[in-house]
Structure 1
């Protein structure tokens, strides 16, 4: 049974009771969840990454993709997923879902006898205020930081969870190919028919939301390398004109140059507005898409040097390059480590990594939790994993004589709350 260690009661209590600063979420708007009505069922919990493990375990892609939709009824969903659930239930993704089912909805297990009960419990709680109930009351989240990645989403969302949510400007929208120029124009009133007009579009978002946002976010490793060269304005303008004025395709090098120049522009604006840069490093969600070279955190080193006043928040501990992240955060004053998502990717590797970070990196540079999910239910299980991992990592360090219990309590509060609160000025 999932439990926190109790050898050091003060530490256990601090870990259990400290409100969490959740550094990263993709949560859908509550109204979208409410609109699901009777279409909501147990399989929507699988949106919290379990689909990838199901496919990895042998489930057909189409069957997995139909889980969090209304294409199938819940009985047919269970029939198709049952044997694969038994294969993935022990991964971090599977255990996080099981924790939510057991501790939020009061159902001991997900199986052939209970999946309908899980659905009924989810529907019973699907009413106004469900996000506050799941996040604040159950998971103990003080604030979460939103990064909108919905296909029709915007750089900054106007409707969020009041009193719970702050946002990062989704500057990855400016690095997409093709660029969503029509959608950006509808939002800003600026027709980006030149490189200069495109930069004015970016500037509009910073001017409109830069004092309200708490960071900017870039998740580009899903489609390109983390290495951003400093490209001349002339080269970027030529690439933009060729692609978006003359409508001609770009060679890969020219496309990269356009994106490089765009991100450098965003970094200059981040420096101007004193906004930290949250950037995806390491592992990728999904299947058959993992390029281990383009996700390496060390590819960002030139940016750390060129923008010393910009604070970089490296996501997901760079997994599986967590030692590389530790070295970068130890060496560069403007580099910080974020454990968001990592607790459910690989719980034990993350627990060991936290001990490495504490023993190698200044303790103010470690952010201990970010749920990184779209369904609010998934935040609970992930939050429990974070508290579990922090408690066990620190307990072992006390046992080995590296820390005293009071030191461990201070570190727990910093990692779970204080560091991120100060960093993001919440």
Structure 2
């Protein structure tokens, strides 16, 4: 497909999505004509809700070692058979390779401009370390303030993270509750009741707005329901650590969770795609492709189940977008894609816009280990979304008013509407 035809196809799909969604306040070309010089969107001051965020600690940030800094952007295998070199726990060769990944190179570029220092890893990390040691809370607040991150959805964790300087909403930690119940409940009937009771108790706290599940990593996304007698037979073996029995009981808990959340109208966030980690003990092509969820979600009793596919299903981005298009209650979160796939994000974002309704897209940064990932995610988001939408305005497939509204939707409005924030 030529570039011109590809743009037309993207624009047609995007406009169709907006028409179906009935977005409030959307301008028409008659109401808001495009003026020369107005086509470029500047999203710098747009507020952001980071839909998928992890906690980090000051201890993890207090390292002047460049390899320790770059390792927070790496999810792959860390043992290449050679001696570890420094606090990252990885070899010198692997540290070098990680320092040359796109996300690290882009982060060094961005932080060098922010800090006003030379654009090399060593200088940037040294300046970061100086700022953290002088005032870690102030440094973190500066990053979130500059990126306009006004709220985050925090993946599990309890208590108030000391360094996150913004409004916090939370996900119920399904896996933690599952493991606790499996350990303490001596029969399957008690396990099932206790599991749902503990989920319900967490959700009674209004900070918790959804439940997080790792069903893909733990058992695969091709969810299959067994007979109750099969679960009974597996339960005690699962408690003793039998892997296959454990998977069966985890899937049973997921099935119970989906029915409960469907009844209560509670969204479930599900890891899809590689999430940067190919170390799963399961065959990756059988476990985390979001299309594998389709047969289970087609069940009539689950039509109202609210599902959010995390990480854009990367590298199956089109599959994840297709799920959001085909299932009315499936939404798409783009965390980990921002900022990890920064050098190719425009193409990936085009793929998402081609298929998924823009009213069903959430931004997330997948932040962990340090605040720079949150800052970079939001900064990259604004550049990529702004550039792609501006291109569509320039080609007259969207008006400036439509593009402006779409940007607000993805950056914060969709999350506000979905969770009634």
What TM-score range do you get, normalising by the shorter chain? Answer: 0.7 to 0.9
Deviation at 1:19, TM superposition (A): 0.8
Instruction: List runs of 5+ in structure 1 lacking aligned partners.
Output: 1-6, 69-76, 149-155, 186-190
CA contact (8 A) 1:271 1:310 kept: yes
Tell me which residue corresponds to 1:142: 150
Q: What TM-score, normalized to structure 1?
A: 0.78
After TM superposition, the structure 1 stretch with the greater mean CA deviation from structure 2, 210-219 or 231-240, is: 231-240
Relative to structure 1, the CA distance from residue 408 to residue 85 in structure 2 (aligned partners, 3 Å threshold; closer, same or farther) is farther
CA deviations on 1:319-346 (whole Å, 9 max, x unpaired) are 1111112222111101111111113332
For residue 125 of structure 1, give the secondary structure of its aligned residue in structure 2. Answer: helix
Asked whether 1:312 is paired with 2:334, we answer no
Tell me which residue corresponds to 2:33: none
For residue 117 of structure 2, give the secondary structure of its aligned residue in structure 1. Answer: coil
Relative to structure 1, the CA distance from residue 381 to residue 424 in structure 2 (aligned partners, 3 Å threshold; closer, same or farther) is same
Give the number of aligned pairs.
Answer: 378
After TM superposition, the structure 1 stretch with the greater mean CA deviation from structure 2, 199-208 or 277-286, is: 199-208
Tell me which residue corresponds to 1:277: 268
Deviation at 1:195, TM superposition (A): 1.5
Quote the Cα distance in structure 1 between the aligned partners of 2:102 and 2:61.
28
Tell me which residue corresponds to 1:67: 88
Deviation at 1:262, TM superposition (A): 0.8
Deviation at 1:36, TM superposition (A): 6.0
Asked whether 1:109 is paired with 2:119, we answer yes
CA deviations on 1:263-307 (whole Å, 9 max, x unpaired) are 011112222332211111112334554722311101111332231
Relative to structure 1, the CA distance from residue 341 to residue 113 in structure 2 (aligned partners, 3 Å threshold; closer, same or farther) is closer
For residue 51 of structure 2, give the secondary structure of its aligned residue in structure 1. Answer: strand
1:240-319 to structure 2, matched below 5 A, reads 240-244=235-239, 247=240, 250=242, 252=244, 254-286=245-277, 288-289=279-280, 291-306=284-299, 307-319=302-314
CA contact (8 A) 2:67 2:95 kept: no
Tell me which residue corresponds to 1:3: none
Quote the Cα distance in structure 2 between the aligned partners of 1:104 and 1:232.
58
For residue 17 of structure 1, give the secondary structure of its aligned residue in structure 2. Answer: coil
Equivalent of 1:93, from 103, 123, 130? 103
What is the CA RMSD across the aligned residues, in angstroms? 3.2
Tell me which residue corresponds to 1:119: 129
Quote the Cα distance in structure 1 between the aligned partners of 2:166 and 2:224.
39
CA contact (8 A) 1:214 1:425 kept: no
Instruction: List runs of 5+ in structure 2 lacking aligned partners.
Output: 1-35
CA contact (8 A) 1:366 1:419 kept: yes
Tell me which residue corresponds to 2:360: 365
Equivalent of 1:26, from 54, 69, 73? 54
Tell me which residue corresponds to 2:176: 173
Quote the Cα distance in structure 2 between the aligned partners of 1:166 and 1:276.
13
Q: What TM-score, normalized to structure 2?
A: 0.78
1:182-197 to structure 2, matched below 5 A, reads 191-197=184-190
Relative to structure 1, the CA distance from residue 295 to residue 210 in structure 2 (aligned partners, 3 Å threshold; closer, same or farther) is same
